[in-house]
Amino acid sequence: MTKWRSCDFHEAAQRYLADKLVEWGLLEGPTERVYELALQRRFTMAGTGHMLGLDVHDCATARTEAYVDGTLEPGMVLTVEPGLYFQPDDLTVPAEYRGIGVRIEDDILVTADGNENLSAGLPRASAEVEVWMRELPEPR
């Protein structure tokens, strides 16, 4: 069984974002060079995710070696939430992207044979989210 460190998902997401930013023409490639220089971080603004649970999230007793650099074990839950954020005054991105931020979050349960996406049933596409929001009851 492959042992995955908790930071592996961050590295995978950062590589993917670097690749897409090059593909979209927002950064000049090659992708590997963009990733090595961490140029994609200009648009990410935050980490890719973190562990979930009372004992690890914003907790002074959560140790980096156990949770950030540690090995993922069955029963652990983490959020994977890569995002891209384009500043409103950034003239290096097309005008239609300025001031926009997009982040999709999934909450993942580590299992003995892989993982379970606990948020898989939520809408993803903007049209699906808009329908879902319209169907919510009015606040009291």
The per-residue pLDDT of the chain, averaged, comes to: 86
- Prediction pTM value: 0.75
129/22: higher pLDDT: 22
* pLDDT at residue 59, rounded to an integer: 60
Q: Largest Cα–Cα distance of the chain, in whole Å?
A: 52
Alpha helix (H) residue ranges in 44-125: 64-67
Residues comprising the chain, all counted? 140
Q: How confident is the model at residue 135 (pLDDT cuts 50, 70, 90)?
A: very high
Number of H helices, E strands in the chain: 4, 6
Residue 62 has what pLDDT? 65
**What tens digit of pLDDT does each residue of 31-74 get?**
999 999 999 999 998 888 888 877 666 566 666 676 667 788 89
Q: What is the pLDDT of residue 33?
A: 94
